[in-house]
A and B are shown apart, each in its own frame.
Chain A
Amino acid sequence: MAKHVIASLREFPAGSRKLVDVRGRKIAVFNIKGEFFALANRCPHQGGGLCDGRLTGLVEASAPGEYRWSRRGEIIRCPWHGWEYKLKTGECAPDPKLRLKRHEVVQRDGGVYVVV
């Protein structure tokens, strides 16, 4: 495991995202209100690039006909076929058995690092 610098904190403000290549791995990195999340960019379904996906929430229900909007801004949807992943865990929302690889993100001395 090694830390790889991907950006300075200044060029990676809250609300932005970056697709980075660390030792041949494509990693999508998100800054959500100052908290960083890094996930494998490739959707396990057919390889869509998650960094190009829409950041959205999770629609849940406990009964037919009910809609509850939760985890606002914490779900990334694949731009190709709409598969949903939780930024915090990498889990596919409808199927937690399916999980994107997550990477730790470290901020130090004004830099943002991804651990690979």
Chain B
Amino acid sequence: MPALSLPAGFGKHGLPLGIHAGSSYRHPVTSLGWPSWYVEDYAAQSQGFQSQLASLVCEGVFVKYPKLKVVLLESGVTWLPAFLWRLSKFWRGVRLEVPWLDRSPAEIVRDHFRLTIQPFDGPDDPAAVAKLIDHLQSDDILLFSSDFPHWQFDGDDVMPMGIPEKLHGKIRRDNALATYSRLAEQVA
């Protein structure tokens, strides 16, 4: 069963689908049930995003809507490369379950998903952060966000420490314009 039902007429207007951290509505955010503490609940949000991302890919949503972009908001970023290695590895072995996927989930995700940079869960060492960003294997995937006024223990720099300089313009401007194409129309 898909983890998200898409409404009729979905995809008609070329709008991206935004998914924000919050909860899993009626369901506990973890497969173990409701966590006792906020710290567990908040850390577990990335599990919810992982499952939602896998569901949208495997259910063939992007086969049906080849132009769709999905923006993950307040999702965290650094869990993504490891999850894509895992998802793509298993896909290769059991591809025949989902034969409508014509390429690896990692490639599909790079084409269709965008992630916002707040909160950013990474190491303090800027060189290690740069390596993590490199694992995303895409300069187009990150979008600026501040999550103001929600404080994330991240400090108040515009960019998380260690994000390579050459990506700043893309993250602050170009990637958002490419994702929200109607925004670009108004700017022009």
Contacts and interface: CB of A to CB of B under 8 A. Distances in A.
A94 B100 contact: no
Contact of B100 (A45, A62, A93, A95): A62
Contacts, number: 43
Nearest to A93: B95
- The interface residues of chain A, by DSSP majority, are classed as loop
Interface of B: 59-61, 63-64, 91-96, 99-100, 103-104
B112 to A, nearest CB: 15
Interface of A: 45, 58-68, 81-84, 93-95
B95 A66 contact: no
Contacts of B99: 59-61, 66-68
B60 A94 contact: no
A93 B92 CA distance: 9
Contacts of B93: 81-83
Nearest to B94: A82
Contacts of A82: 92-94
B63 A94 contact: no
